[in-house]
Structure 1
């Protein structure tokens, strides 16, 4: 596979910049600060973080096999750490990061 020519690299970077800017600035263009935020958007702001967290849990546990390998023990421990951290601190990023770090430590060949 040959590397991308310079013009393709420039186009790719430009599209990434445009996409990032669009997603950052579009909400400010669509929703005026003079008008109240629509109820649907307020609902999504409350519901989506929980839904994304649940989808992340499902994605992380989809390939766990209880009858082979580590039998899902590292995943279970990391999940428990994530739940405890979230109940204790109520900070989603801390919960995700803490569970990830614990999982990564547990699955290293050195510790098994």
Structure 2
């Protein structure tokens, strides 16, 4: 394999392109003329909130509130994320902003 690229790499790239394409086109193929099923509507409506709850549980799961700094970094991160979301009302900004704020607290305090 000196200098030449194996055909396996091209096949793998082609498969990845097709899978990526069909995952993007899938909703348009199946829901083009009718309303999506209730579970899809539910997921669309509540999935961002579920992600935020998972991040909060992940952040707070192993904190020992009896030891210094008493979980203050994590609590500040959760409150910052909540305030960010209440003021801006954008899940993406809330998740990324809160995560960046929390990671800055962990690294610099």
User: If the length of structure 1 is used for normalisation, what is the TM-score?
Assistant: 0.72
- Relative contact order: is structure 1 or structure 2 higher (C-alpha 8 Å, sep ≥ 6)? 2
For 2:69 and 2:9, locate their aligned partners in 1 and report how far apart those are by CA, in whole Å.
Answer: 42
Shift in Å, 1:62? 2.6
1:89 paired to 2:88: yes
Q: Note the residue ranges of structure 2 that are not aligned, 5 or more in a row.
A: none
Secondary structure at the counterpart of residue 107 of structure 1: helix
Secondary structure at the counterpart of residue 63 of structure 1: coil
Where does residue 44 of structure 2 map in the other structure? Answer: 45
Secondary structure at the counterpart of residue 26 of structure 2: helix
Q: How many residues align?
A: 105
Secondary structure at the counterpart of residue 64 of structure 2: coil
Judging changes above 3 Å, is the alpha-carbon distance between structure 1 residues 62 and 11 closer, same or farther for their aligned structure 2 residues? farther
Q: Note the residue ranges of structure 1 that are not aligned, 5 or more in a row.
A: none
Note the 1:26-41 alignment, pairs <5 A: 26-32=26-32, 34-41=33-40
Shift in Å, 1:6? 4.7
Where does residue 16 of structure 2 map in the other structure? Answer: 16
User: If the length of structure 2 is used for normalisation, what is the TM-score?
Assistant: 0.73
Shift in Å, 1:36? 2.8
For 1:13 and 1:60, locate their aligned partners in 2 and report how far apart those are by CA, in whole Å.
Answer: 36
Shift in Å, 1:82? 0.1
